[in-house]
Amino acid sequence: MSVNPQARRVLSGMRPTGPLHLGNYHGALRSWVELQYQYECFFFIADWHALTTGYEDTSALQDHIRAVLVDWLAAGLNPGVATLFIQSHVPEHAELHLLLSMMTPLGWLERVPTYKEQQAELRDRDLATYGFLGYPLLQSADILLYRADFVPVGEDQVAHVEVTRELARRFNHLYGREPQFEEKAERGVRSLGGRNSTLYRQLRRRFQEAGDTEALTRARALVQANNRITVADRERLLGFLEGSHLSILPEPQVLLTASPRVPGLDGRKMSKSYGNTIGLREDPDAVAQKLRAMKTDPARARRTDPGDPEKCPVWDLHKIYSDEATRRWVSEGCRSAGIGCLDCKKPLIDQIVEEVRAFRRRAQEFEDNPDLVRGIVAEGASKAREAAHQTLDEVRRAMHLRAD
């Protein structure tokens, strides 16, 4: 199937909790860099989301935002093709969040697994706040504001996208009603023109009768790529695929990114909260030192003890960084005690140090030139606001917050 980048929009965000590490890179950022060339992409720094848990001390916020931005640019996000922006620079997120809050049942938010989990995990902070409960709602506003088709996120965020879908459905159900919807929709189908009308009908049937979501995606792309139809017809035709309402806020889909397990230095998942990370732009000598001290299979207490790569976090890094021949060498050498752990780590250290060096090199230009970064952020905000404004305009009208 041919992909029309205009018709397929991707949106994702990251909280600015500090400089990014290799876990962030392999877990998300690397796939974003690929996505930006396949879709129309919006990537933003969720500074308001950072406040939901970090409201007490915000003094480092600007430093963190800047660090993440430069990390993004160093990793290859390209402001020439993707829209990169900061959430709070687009106040439309707040307006949509407010409007959606009116129709969000409390139970939907209380039931989101991350709500209780995070409260338990961050026991030292008071998270019995309105803002924290609203975290998934703000995220829904982020997504729906851009009418994103796809949201690339990890497993832990799937529940939030699910809430987003429910909210979109509820919104469309409440405010997407219109008299004679079916007749108008039928007329809209005809206005797609000969072959496209037929294709639309076929795809709609495949979705409605067989639940074929691929057909739904294709039908949506077909509607969105058509620039001869009116905005009202587009909303009708999108809504008609699934039901009998206008689709003012389309339901997004999760784009599960096939991300490898990135182990931290202690063998647990690499995470800032465990203090076991390697920074994207950390000093190369420090990186090498950290890797030399990284945990290995505990069974290999001595050089002569054979080991098992499956029980070793270093092996997980080889799966990410090493070619097949190196991996075979590691696997055989480890099991036979033919190589020591430092031998095993050597090619890995070379690879990772080289990668970190490249990030640092690319970051330098932006570090030396704060105006360049400011310009990227300003342009991102203005592009994002333009898209956001269109959605909000329709939302306000649908809710009768405007006279016409």
Q: What residues line the site for ligand SF4 (CB under 6 A)?
A: 296-297, 300, 307, 309, 312, 314-315, 330, 334, 339, 341, 344-345
The residue type of 20 is L
The separation between the first and the last C-alpha atoms of the chain, rounded to the nearest angstrom, is 40
CB 150 within 8 A of CB 10: yes
Across the chain, which distance is largest between two alpha carbons, in Å? 81
CB of 350 to ligand SF4, least distance (A): 15
- Contact between 277 and ligand TRP (CB under 6 A)? no
Binding partner of 172, given ligand SF4, ligand TRP, none, CB within 5-8 angstroms per partner class: none
Helices 113-121 and 158-175: crossing angle in degrees, nearest 10, is 140
- Contact between 139 and ligand TRP (CB under 6 A)? yes
- Contact between 30 and ligand TRP (CB under 6 A)? no
Binding partner of 153, given ligand SF4, ligand TRP, none, CB within 5-8 angstroms per partner class: ligand TRP
CB of 114 to ligand TRP, least distance (A): 8
Region of 135-143, 174-182, 320-328, 352-360 interacting with ligand TRP (CB under 6 A): 135-143
Q: Which is nearer to ligand TRP, 32 or 321 (CB)?
A: 32
- Contact between 247 and ligand TRP (CB under 6 A)? no
CB of 86 to ligand TRP, least distance (A): 12
Q: Which is nearer to ligand TRP, 49 or 66 (CB)?
A: 49
CB of 306 to ligand TRP, least distance (A): 40
- Contact between 93 and ligand TRP (CB under 6 A)? no
CB of 12 to ligand TRP, least distance (A): 4
Q: Which residue is nearest to ligand TRP (CB)?
A: 13
Q: Which is nearer to ligand SF4, 339 or 399 (CB)?
A: 339
- Contact between 66 and ligand TRP (CB under 6 A)? no
CB 143 within 8 A of CB 11: yes
- Contact between 49 and ligand TRP (CB under 6 A)? yes
Q: Which is nearer to ligand SF4, 25 or 315 (CB)?
A: 315
CB of 168 to ligand SF4, least distance (A): 47
Q: Which is nearer to ligand TRP, 145 or 398 (CB)?
A: 145
- Contact between 22 and ligand TRP (CB under 6 A)? no
CB 297 within 8 A of CB 309: yes
CB of 348 to ligand SF4, least distance (A): 9
- The CA radius of gyration of the chain, in Å to the nearest whole number, is 24
The partner residues of 269 in beta bridges, in order of sequence, read 263
Please select the residue that binds ligand TRP; options are 67, 137, 153, 238, rule is CB under 6 A.
Answer: 153
- Contact between 270 and ligand TRP (CB under 6 A)? no
CB of 336 to ligand SF4, least distance (A): 10
Long-range CB contact pairs, 306-309, < 8 A, 24+: 306/334, 306/335, 306/336, 306/337, 307/334, 307/335, 307/337, 307/341, 308/334, 308/335, 309/334, 309/335
- Contact between 142 and ligand TRP (CB under 6 A)? yes
- Contact between 392 and ligand TRP (CB under 6 A)? no
